[in-house]
């Protein structure tokens, strides 16, 4: 009876006339009635019974998974670099496990979230022990006793070691002629037999050497690559992520999230003593949380409000790996150094963010206004070289003015350092900064098929301040009281200085995108985007910019060939003045911290044009081109030096070896140089790229995508070690050293067509468990080689050039017909520049490329369906599954005609190897 009356009502609604007689319902009327019944039973109606509403979406109320990923060295190939050293693969034990569960939030007898409250909880744990392999060069045992009789140069010729105590002026020196073997400014005697007498060896150096391992292999060439390390490292981590969503009266939605993670990283050791130069163990803790409120005000307006925080703490050394004291940092290239730069450090990085965005639509305009405020906090305790850093070069054991003589390690065993520095950090630094962001955007549909999107963003960035005003920088406008010259140390909040050294930066970022469907063909889209944008200067970990509050004594030799900066046996001198030392000249004679005060920030301008066309069978082809150029890119100490000696000073030749003379040529002679800490806005950048993208969406279980990109990227600041001329950045304009001009990436997924409801082997007997549920996924990448960076071995430029480029030999072709590991490029096309001159080949070579790289990853999944809601998946993933070896880069150090690098242009070894991970996922 109840059903019949419903049909009567339905007839009324459909036909518009009241019918009191009950007629047999039509099929469509029956369908409508059944819709009502079913939606009521399934809880899909506002008036559904409470029980039905709770069941709601059908199936299980909670979904989730348990997973376990497993890696073991037994599954992996021996890495090529290990095979080449005759070693075996190191230990690998990795277990990664966890769970996730999500669904309506239910607290028995207290709360049933139903559709309104939804939660998701994930946990992940990691336990890993992994062996690392390294191949390094360390001093031979005879060298450690002062015997350099077997030491050779890059050409394999004996390398003479000279006795610095025998130095005397050459009465026959002709200052009008360059220093040369026949016109020496100083004479110095070689050690007899190239052996330093035991009595001359520095006891501190000898004491340190007891912590240095012995060579254990002889790969070469000559005595290089004589120490192979297979050392275990590890990672432990546990983390959890919780999310809760709640809907309030339809229009309000609240979502919150919280996550934490604790981890311990134990890097592999280069050697198991206090002098290990590898990174110290590090403890990590991260926490983040957010709360978001979305208010749907009307069908055309939505407001999003969000508050969040994120904090990450890391602590290295000390408690993280047992406090066993601190070893000084000894550096004597090309050998593996001893000690660590940052043996102990603590950093806590926190961000608080509040944002609101309001979107609404009016007519043909869709507008969005948003604002965001972020407070950054960085607490850093980061003492650099707390036990001192000592650099040793060949100069003090060389024949002064003559290249390819002397040896850095010989200088070390004599205890004669060319440069030394240390730090005394009394307080952590508490850096703070605020960044605001205001944005407006209008998406305007001018007509069907033509849309323009115009946006403007204002980025407001306050300068970095320190909670207790413990900040300092060199001010070029302040007069140094010691020298009377411009440039003195100033302190935040003192002497009229602001709390932050940089101005508040306001940058407008306009953007425009036009989307056009030519001839209103919706399958074809042309997009043009023009954009200008800025980035802010980040707050780096560390305590840069706190000189005066922390001590950073620096010692540099007055002549790198004649006098040591410090002698090891004498120890590191105490600070000359107690801290804090807030004198304007407190940073004199040091590497002074310099904060750029101009307010410049990295600025980019970009334009892009693309054409995308959809073809039948879900095939999409896109072509496009982008061009971006930038200025005020952040340069590091390697690529900027506002206190550099101009290169025209090379005319003074050997006089440049005198620190006092060099000092007179520096713009700010009271400072050795400046530390800009990768935050100096001085670089330029340009990238042009064209791409072709082809996509095939799912068809017969197969989908794939391929992207080919051709690009050219130039800049004047990215470098592996430094640039040649700080004052002529035009000459530094060269290909980016890590930019590959050609890249191709392909990804694919294929679900095998076997099993029920597939095209083949559709049987439902036991065999279905074998044949169904197989999926193959893969990612293949190929990139052509990046530009080769050539450098000169012998840099006899009076220490005013950090990295010396090479000269091109006129008429010589740098390429070789069939590049291979024995000869990748023609080293005879280049020469080490003569003394006191610069190289004429660009920072990166315009034609020569390092070997290309390719990688192929494959994942195979076998799925077992247990019930409609439960499944078990086995996942086998092979990274570099073809076990492809990538050649190492060729030796790109170029010598002179007299002392060539016989290995230049050659490639020694390759790297890479297949890694396999197995996984098991139970989902419900």
Query: 743 with 783: CB under 8 angstroms?
Result: yes
Does 712 bind another protein (CB under 8 A)? Our answer is no
Range in contact with another protein (rule: CB under 8 A) among 93-101, 414-422, 565-573, 708-716: 93-101
Identify residues 501-560 at the interface with another protein (CB under 8 A).
Answer: 515, 517, 520, 522-523, 525
74 touching another protein, by CB under 8 A: no
421 binds another protein (CB under 8 A): no
Residue 221: asked if its preceding bond is cis (omega within 30°), the reply is yes
Q: Which two tokens stand for residue 571?
A: 């120890």
Distance (Å) of CA 98 to CA 63, 74, 241, 262, 589? 14, 23, 11, 15, 55
Task: Please identify, using beta-carbon distances, which residue of 354 and 749 lies nearer to another protein.
Answer: 749
Token pair for 101 = 């569960």
Q: What is the CA radius of gyration of the chain?
A: 34
The distance of closest approach from Cβ of residue 79 to another protein in the complex, given in angstroms and rounded to an integer, is 14
Contacts of 252 (CB under 8 A, 6+ apart): 293, 294, 295, 296
Residue holding tokens 């105590």?
165
Q: Which of 629, 863, 884, 914 binds another protein (CB under 8 A)?
A: 863
User: At its nearest, how many Å lie between another protein and the CB of residue 678?
Assistant: 21
* DSSP result, 235-282: EEEEEEEEEEEEEETTTEEEEEEEEEEEEEEEPPPSSSSTT--SPPPE
**Alpha-carbon dihedral 888, 892, 893, 897, rounded to 10 degrees:** 130
Q: How far is the CB of 230 from another protein (least distance, A)?
A: 17
Among positions 9, 28, 621, 882, the unique one binding another protein when judged by CB under 8 A: 28
Q: Which two tokens stand for residue 555?
A: 């010692």
* Contact between residue 409 and residue 159 where contact means Cβ atoms under 8 Å apart: no
Residue for token pair 């150096």: 205
DSSP sequence for 74-117 = GGSPPPHHHHHTT-----EEEEEEEEEEEEE-EETTTEE-TTTE
Closer to another protein by Cβ: residue 103 or 909: 103
Q: In the complex, what is the shortest distance from the CB of residue 92 to another protein, in angstroms, rounded to a whole number?
A: 9
- Closest distance of CB 257 from another protein, Å: 10
Nearer to another protein, 284 or 836 (CB): 284
Q: Least distance (Å) from another protein to the CB of residue 126? A: 5
Applying CB under 8 A, which of residues 875, 892, 899, 908 lies at the interface with another protein? 875
Euclidean distance between CA atoms 296 and 303, whole angstroms: 6
Figure out which of the listed residues 157, 324, 822, 869 binds another protein, where binding follows CB under 8 A: 869
- Residue 684 in the binding site for another protein (CB under 8 A): no
Interacting residue with another protein among 20, 199, 210, 757 (CB under 8 A) = 757
Q: Which parts of 769-828 interact with another protein (CB under 8 A)?
A: 773, 775, 777, 779
| Residue selected from 697, 720, 770, 815 as contacting another protein according to rule CB under 8 A | 697
Nearer to another protein, 41 or 170 (CB): 41
* Integer Cα distance of 597 and 464 in angstroms: 11
Beta carbon nearer to another protein, 145 or 747 = 747
CB-based burial label for 175 (10 Å; 0-12, 13-18, 19+): exposed
Report the Cα 887 to chain-centroid distance in Å: 22
Place of tokens 């070069």: 393
Told to check if 689 binds another protein by CB under 8 A, we report no
Which value, to the nearest 10 degrees, does the dihedral of the CA atoms of residues 642, 648, 653, 655 take? -50
Binding mask 243-272 for another protein (x = CB under 8 A): x-x-x--xxxx-----x-x-xxx-------
Among 56, 190, 486, 909, binds another protein (CB under 8 A): 56
Min. distance of Cβ 266 from another protein in angstroms?
Answer: 11
User: Which residue of 8, 44, 66, 424 would you call a contact of another protein, by CB under 8 A?
Assistant: 44
Pairing of strands 450-461, 429-447: antiparallel
Q: Does 906 bind another protein (CB under 8 A)?
A: no
Task: Using CB under 8 A, pick the residue from 6, 63, 531, 911 that binds another protein.
Answer: 63
359 sits near another protein (criterion: CB under 8 A): yes
Nearer to another protein, 567 or 761 (CB): 761
Q: Confirm or reject binding of residue 52 to another protein (CB under 8 A).
A: no
| Stretch of 113-121, 533-541, 591-599, 723-731 contacting another protein, by CB under 8 A | 113-121
Question: What is the rounded CA–CA span in Å between residue 497 and residue 494?
Answer: 5
Could you tell me which stretch among 153-161, 299-307, 666-674, 786-794 binds another protein (CB under 8 A)? 299-307
The residue within the footprint of another protein, chosen from 254, 294, 424, 435 (CB under 8 A), is 294
Determine, following the binding rule CB under 8 A, whether residue 441 of this chain makes contact with another protein. no
> Where in 617-656 is the site for another protein (CB under 8 A)?
618, 620
Kindly identify the residues of this chain, within the stretch 713-752, that bind another protein according to CB under 8 A.
747, 749
User: What is the H or E stretch that residue 591 is in?
Assistant: strand 591-593
Give min distance, CB of 669 to another protein, in A. Answer: 44
Strands (E), 137-271: 168-169, 186-187, 227-248, 252-266
Q: Is 313 in the site for another protein (CB under 8 A)?
A: no
Measure the CA dihedral 726/731/732/737, to 10°: -160
Distance of closest approach, residue 442 Cβ to another protein, in angstroms: 10
Of 102 and 889, which CB lies nearer to another protein in the complex structure? 102
Residues 200-224: b if buried by 16+ CB within 10 A, e if exposed: ebbebbbebbeebbebeeebeebbb
**Considering only 118-126, 485-493, 629-637, 883-891, which stretch makes contact with another protein by CB under 8 A?**
118-126
CA distances from 295 to 24, 113, 252, 441 (A): 47, 20, 5, 19
Q: Is 106 a residue that touches another protein (CB under 8 A)? A: no
How many residues sit in the footprint of another protein (CB under 8 A)?
125
- Based on the shown chain and the rule CB under 8 A, indicate whether residue 38 belongs to the binding site for another protein: yes
Give min distance, CB of 589 to another protein, in A: 40
Task: Work out whether 69 is an interface residue with another protein (CB under 8 A).
Answer: yes
Work out whether 855 is an interface residue with another protein (CB under 8 A). no
Length of the chain measured in residues:
924
Report in angstroms how near the CB of residue 60 gets to another protein at its nearest: 10
For 761-903, where are the alpha helices, taking DSSP H only? 768-771
Is 356 one of the binding residues for another protein (CB under 8 A)? Answer: no
- Angle 837-842-848 from CA coordinates, rounded to 5°: 130
The residue (of 749 and 816) whose beta carbon lies closer to another protein is 749
Structure letter (DSSP) for residue 649: G
Indicate which single residue of 11, 77, 82, 126 sits in contact with another protein (rule: CB under 8 A): 126
Angle between helices 27-41 and 2-15 (to 10 degrees): 120
Name the 3-class secondary structure at 713.
strand
- Residue 232 in the binding site for another protein (CB under 8 A): no
- In angstroms, give the least distance from the CB of 9 to another protein: 11
The least CB distance from residue 393 to another protein, in Å, is: 34
Considering only residues 183 through 212, tell me which ones interact with another protein, judged by CB under 8 A.
none
Residue 237 Cβ, how far from another protein at the closest point, in Å? 4
Residue among 307, 314, 312 nearest 257 (CA): 307
Report the residue number, 44 or 665, with the smaller CB distance to another protein: 44
Q: Is 881 a binder of another protein (CB under 8 A)?
A: no
- How much of the chain is helix, strand and coil, in % rounded to 5? 10, 45, 45
E strand or H helix at 441: strand 429-447
Q: Is 614 in the site for another protein (CB under 8 A)?
A: yes
Report how far apart the first and last C-alpha atoms of the chain are (Å, whole number).
42
């Amino acid at each position: 009876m109840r059903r019949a009356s419903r049909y009567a009502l339905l007839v009324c609604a459909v036909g518009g006339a009241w019918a009191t007689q009950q007629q047999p319902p039509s099929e469509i009327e029956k369908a409508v009635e059944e819709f009502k019944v079913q939606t009521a039973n399934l809880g899909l109606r506002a008036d559904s019974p409470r029980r039905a509403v709770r069941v709601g979406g059908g199936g299980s109320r909670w979904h989730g998974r348990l997973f376990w990923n497993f890696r073991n060295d037994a599954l992996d190939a021996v890495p090529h670099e290990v095979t080449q050293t005759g070693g075996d693969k190191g230990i690998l034990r990795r277990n990664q496990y966890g769970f996730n569960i999500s669904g309506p939030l239910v607290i028995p007898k207290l709360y049933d979230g139903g559709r309104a409250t939804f939660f998701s909880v994930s946990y992940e744990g990691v336990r890993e022990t992994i062996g690392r392999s390294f191949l390094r060069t360390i001093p031979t045992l005879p060298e450690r006793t002062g015997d350099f009789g077997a030491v050779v140069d890059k050409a394999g010729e004996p390398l003479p070691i000279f006795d610095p105590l025998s130095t005397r002026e050459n009465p026959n020196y002709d200052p009008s002629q360059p220093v040369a073997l026949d016109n020496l400014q100083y004479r110095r005697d070689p050690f007899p037999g190239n052996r330093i007498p035991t009595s001359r060896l520095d006891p501190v150096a000898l004491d340190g050497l007891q912590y240095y391992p012995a060579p254990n292999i002889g790969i070469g060439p000559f005595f290089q690559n004589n120490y192979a390390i297979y050392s275990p490292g590890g990672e432990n981590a546990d983390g959890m992520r919780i999310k809760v969503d709640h809907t309030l009266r339809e229009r309000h939605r609240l979502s919150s999230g919280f996550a934490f993670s604790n981890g311990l990283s134990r890097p592999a050791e280069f050697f198991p003593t206090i002098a290990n130069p590898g990174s110290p163990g590090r403890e990590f803790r991260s926490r983040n949380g957010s709360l978001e409120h979305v208010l749907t005000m009307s069908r055309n307006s939505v407001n999003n409000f969000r508050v969040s925080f994120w904090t990450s703490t890391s602590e290295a050394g000390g408690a993280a790996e047992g406090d066993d004291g601190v070893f000084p940092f000894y550096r004597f290239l090309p050998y593996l150094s001893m000690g660590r730069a940052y043996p102990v450090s603590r950093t806590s990085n926190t961000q608080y963010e509040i944002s609101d965005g309001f979107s609404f639509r009016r007519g043909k305009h869709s507008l969005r206004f948003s604002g965001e405020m972020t407070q950054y906090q960085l607490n850093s305790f980061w003492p650099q070289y707390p036990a001192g850093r000592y650099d040793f070069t060949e100069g003090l054991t060389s024949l002064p003015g003559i290249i390819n003589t002397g040896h850095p390690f010989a200088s070390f065993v004599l205890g004669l350092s060319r440069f030394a520095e240390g730090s005394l950090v009394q307080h952590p630094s508490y850096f703070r900064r605020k960044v605001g962001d205001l944005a407006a955007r209008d998406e305007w549909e001018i007509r069907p098929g033509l849309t323009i999107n115009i946006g403007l963003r204002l980025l407001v960035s306050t300068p970095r301040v320190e909670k207790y005003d413990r900040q300092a920088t060199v001010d070029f406008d302040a007069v140094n009281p010691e020298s009377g010259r411009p440039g003195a140390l100033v302190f935040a909040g003192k002497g009229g200085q602001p709390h932050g050294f940089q101005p508040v930066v306001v940058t407008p970022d306009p953007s425009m995108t036009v989307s056009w469907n030519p001839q209103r063909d919706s399958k074809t889209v042309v997009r043009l985007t023009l954009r200008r944008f800025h980035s802010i200067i980040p707050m780096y970990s560390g305590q840069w910019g706190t000189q005066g509050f922390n001590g950073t004594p620096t010692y540099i030799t007055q002549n790198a060939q004649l006098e040591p900066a410090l002698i090891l046996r004498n120890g590191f001198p105490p600070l000359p003045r107690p801290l804090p030392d807030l004198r304007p000249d407190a940073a004199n004679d040091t590497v002074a911290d310099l904060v750029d005060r101009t307010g410049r920030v990295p600025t980019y301008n970009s334009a892009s044009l693309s054409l995308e066309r959809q073809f039948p069978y879900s095939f999409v082809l896109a072509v496009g081109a982008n061009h971006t150029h930038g200025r005020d890119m952040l340069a590091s100490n390697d690529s900027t030096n506002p206190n550099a000696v101009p290169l025209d000073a090379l005319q003074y030749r050997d006089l440049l070896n005198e620190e006092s003379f060099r000092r007179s040529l520096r713009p700010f002679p009271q400072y050795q140089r400046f530390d800009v800490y990768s935050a100096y806005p001085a670089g330029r950048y340009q990238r042009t790229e064209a791409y072709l993208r082809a996509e095939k969406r799912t068809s017969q279980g197969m989908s794939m995508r391929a992207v080919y990109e051709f690009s050219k990227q130039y800049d004047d600041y990215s470098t592996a070690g430094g640039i040649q001329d700080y004052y002529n950045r035009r000459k530094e304009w060269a290909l980016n050293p890590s930019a590959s001009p050609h890249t191709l990436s392909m990804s694919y997924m294929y679900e095998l067509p076997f099993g029920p409801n597939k095209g083949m082997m559709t049987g439902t007997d036991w065999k279905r468990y074998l044949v169904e549920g197989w999926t193959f996924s893969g990612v293949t990448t190929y990139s052509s080689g990046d530009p080769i960076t050539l450098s000169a071995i012998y840099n006899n430029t009076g220490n005013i050039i950090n990295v010396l480029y090479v000269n091109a030999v006129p008429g010589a072709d740098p390429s070789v017909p069939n590049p291979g590991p024995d000869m990748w490029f023609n080293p005879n096309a280049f020469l080490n520049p003569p003394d006191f001159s610069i190289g004429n080949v660009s920072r990166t070579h315009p034609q020569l490329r390092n070997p290309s790289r390719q990688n192929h990853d494959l994942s195979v999944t076998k799925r077992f369906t247990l019930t409609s809601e439960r499944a078990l998946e086995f996942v086998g993933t092979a990274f570099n599954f073809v076990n492809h070896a990538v050649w190492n880069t060729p030796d790109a150090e170029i010598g002179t005609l007299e002392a060539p690098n016989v290995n230049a242009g050659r490639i020694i070894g390759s790297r890479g190897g297949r890694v396999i991970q197995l996984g098991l996922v139970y989902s419900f």
